[in-house]
Chains A and B, each alone.
Chain A
Amino acid sequence: MSNRELTSSHTISVLVDNEPGILARVVGLFSGRGYNIESLTVAEVNAAENLSRITIVTAGTPMVIEQIKAQLDRLVPVHRVHDLTMEGPHIERELALIKVKGTGEKRVEALRLADVFRAKVIDAKNDSFVFEVTGNTDKVDTFINLMGALGLVDVGRTGIVAMTRGGEAL
């Protein structure tokens, strides 16, 4: 009830009609009511039924998180809202493209670390690489930090997609 309640990060999956304006509705809801968006991904997942899946990572007190879910569920084109953080074990993945420029020892070191992180080289020039790395946010953050000293010039990240473990669908 009080503001002193701890805030925590929640990953919320929302199944919506893939229609114009749906993303604006969701984003507008968050900005209009002052909620945080830490990560947001959206793409069509079922063309036959015209459904998209939005994955939102947000932070708040338990009361705010409950409110966010109720507000999302209230939107007319929203089919289902699931708080993966609350509903048991789930997996989160993020993909990043990381461009590193350099030569000599730094270049070799970047390649060695990429191997450790199972990052793939998807573009190479004499003085640059583009790596593709996949994993949870921590892993991607760590890899990007390491590249900082080795000639990092550009980063692109997808944001988080997530799914429950086991056979149950959303």
Chain B
Amino acid sequence: MKPEEPATTGADLLVKALIDEEVEVVFGYPGGAVLPIYDSIFKQNQLRHILVRHEQAAVHAAEGYARSTGKVGVVLVTSGPGATNAVTGLTDALMDSIPIVCLTGQVPTHLIGNDAFQEADTTGITRPCTKHNYLVKSVDKLARTVHEAFYVARSGRPGPVVIDLPKDVLMNKHEYSAPQKPVEHKSYKPITKPDRNQLHQVVELMAKAKRPVFYTGGGVINAGPKASQLLTQFVRMTGFPITNTLMGLGSFPASDPQFLGMLGMHGTYEANLAMYHCDLLINIGARFDDRITGKIAEFSPKSTKIHIDIDPSSINKNVRVDLPIVGDARRALKGLVDIWQKRQPKIDLKAQKAWWAQIDGWRQRKCLAYKQGSEIIKPQYALERLYHHIKDREHYITTEVGQHQMWAAQFLKFEKPNHWMTSGGLGTMGYGFPAAMGVQIAHPDALVIDVAGEASIMMNIQELSTVAQYRLPVKIFILNNQYMGMVRQWQELLHGGRYSESYMESLPDFVRLAEAFGAVGLRTDKPSELDGVIEEMIRIKKPVIVDIGVDRAENCFPMIPSGAAHYDMLLGPDDRAAKPVSEEGMVLV
């Protein structure tokens, strides 16, 4: 070797850059184009690689890892099918603002565009489903690109970033360059510091409000645990009611009397009516998603609206707001707490008392009530019992997508941020199990439970092999109603009970399936056995599939039918006939 030739290959540089970015774990699957990276990983001990069984699962696992730690999740997949399989996970991370760096292999630069073996236009395919992406065309740009990618993924509104790496770039040699601190990007400069005067205006509006409500979302979780602490402090200082989005659960303790529960399509009666009747709406880190607003023309019609968000494009997108504030939720909340303490505003206590009386009236409707008999397990009951058994120990919950997800959001109580991982924006069936693996990797001793449906779990069931390999004691808690429950519910309510293709024919025997992968399978469909099964699941220090046979006809209520307004909720099965869904609503998803 000539003395002037640098000794480091692109693949070695990459691994060094990842370590410098404090990456400890990579979720991936090897293939031809990324063999040099796998070779570099083989030759070192700092970076741990977790071999998944499908690239989609690698991204979801990285999401679970990221959401439960606040770090960037890292994915490594090969070119072509490796990259295209990752697309669902990337889109999921984009919709839920999860920081991910996904390294994709690519055919050598001289073959790009030649329809080479396992070639795909990865940057083209992933452009709309990433926050940003890069194709690294020469090794001298590799280290810098990796550092920039981590900065882009974790700063501002977080999101997934793809780095496409042609094989020749991985094999060429170059000197390493360490990350620059502080990072200064030439065009990407997210605004994180909120305008102080605007924060004063928030406090002034709050002081005048008669019927205020906080509506907070995943932005508070993404701003770090300190943001959730500040939110809790601020909400308690004001005495105002608060509701969370699906993504925001855990940012405010669910057991606090000021908490109204989740809002939106399957949110509580009190949360949705508070949104409808409030005169001041304080949105922090939520985005007026269609699951939240219902019919937009009748969304919170009487309120002055404040919106604090780190992403200017989320403001005034769906709902016109009166006081838009761009900034990081933690910094905004810090400012608000300071200003509130300094100014000690006199709030209208008489109006607050009347507002709480009204809210307590709505609470009396007990919108989450259900009737548990002695024969059949109600899914809500299974979750209430699950929560009873886990509430005093450190636990993390992930979910798949559907009825079980909404019941989990309604019946499990989230006291802390970063302990609840669910696919909110994209609604990805198959998310929960691999996400739970990622959580378990980050928190080896914690109790990690994927609340699943029997349909969703089939979408990434191959990962049983991964949990077996790494002895991850993930618990899969299946609420088995033998239907794609949410599809069946909509067919019942909106399509005349024609259950087209929603019955889960030929389900596996989940107990034997678990055993086939060296896990433990448990099953019951008797209310009397439920507690025993849950206790056993917690006791077993291995992966467990729990197959709970539940009421097949149970629907998830409350429900705001699509296209309806917040006051137009279906509270239970008896409510349904009175309120047919409009044709306009039928078109909506």
Contacts and interface: CB of A to CB of B under 8 A. Distances in A.
A17 B187 contact: yes
Interface residues of B, number: 21
Contacts of A78: 187
A62 B47 CA distance: 50
Of the candidates A74, A77, A79, the one having the most CB atoms from chain B within 10 angstroms of its own CB is: A74
Interface in A1-36: 1-2, 16-17, 20-21, 24-25, 28, 32
Contacts of A66: 316
Given A1-B320, A20-B135, A70-B313, A77 B127 contact: no
Contacts of B132: 75-76
B152 interface: yes
Interface in B298-316: 311-313, 315-316
Contacts of B135: 20-21
A24 B320 contact: no
B496 interface: no
Nearest to A70: B313
Given A28-B127, A63-B320, A76 B152 contact: yes
Interface string A79-93: 100000000000000
Contacts of B182: none
B128 interface: yes
Interface string B105-143: 000000000000000000110011001100100000000
A134 B297 CA distance: 46
A60 to B, nearest CB: 13
A66 B131 CA distance: 20
Nearest to A20: B135
B186 interface: yes
Contacts of B152: 76
A71 interface: yes
Given A1-B320, A76-B187, A79-B186, A67 B313 contact: yes
A73 interface: yes
Nearest to B297: A2
Given A76-B152, A77-B187, A67 B317 contact: yes
Nearest to B312: A70
Contacts of A70: 312-313, 315, 317
Most buried by A among B132, B152, B186, B313: B313
Nearest to A63: B316
Contacts of A28: 127-128
B186 A73 contact: no
A71 B312 CA distance: 8
Given A17-B187, A76-B152, A79-B187, A32 B313 contact: no
A17 to B, nearest CB: 6
Interface in B317-373: 317, 319-320
A75 B187 CA distance: 9
B312 A73 contact: yes
Contacts of A71: 313
Contacts of A76: 131-132, 152, 185, 187-188
Contacts of A2: 297
Contacts of B187: 16-17, 76-79
Nearest to B326: A70
Nearest to B320: A1
B447 to A, nearest CB: 38
A21 B316 contact: no
B127 A24 contact: yes
A158 to B, nearest CB: 26
A79 B186 CA distance: 8
Interface string A138-157: 00000000000000000000
B128 A32 contact: yes
Nearest to A31: B128
Contacts of B185: 76
Interface string B511-522: 000000000000
Given A74-B312, A76-B152, A79-B187, A21 B317 contact: no
A18 to B, nearest CB: 12
Nearest to A73: B312
Nearest to A79: B187
A32 B315 CA distance: 19
Ranked nearest first, the 6 interchain pairs of A and B with the lowest CB-CB distance are A70-B313, A76-B132, A79-B187, A76-B188, A70-B312, A1-B320
Interface of B: 123-124, 127-128, 131-132, 135, 152, 185-188, 297, 311-313, 315-317, 319-320
Given A20-B135, A73-B312, A76-B187, 17 more contacts: A1-B320, A2-B297, A17-B187, A21-B123, A24-B124, A24-B127, A28-B127, A28-B128, A63-B320, A67-B317, A70-B312, A70-B313, A70-B315, A73-B313, A74-B313, A76-B131, A76-B188
Interface of A: 1-2, 16-17, 20-21, 24-25, 28, 32, 63, 66-67, 70-71, 73-79
12 contacts: A1-B319, A24-B124, A24-B127, A63-B316, A63-B320, A67-B313, A70-B312, A73-B312, A73-B313, A75-B132, A76-B131, A77-B187
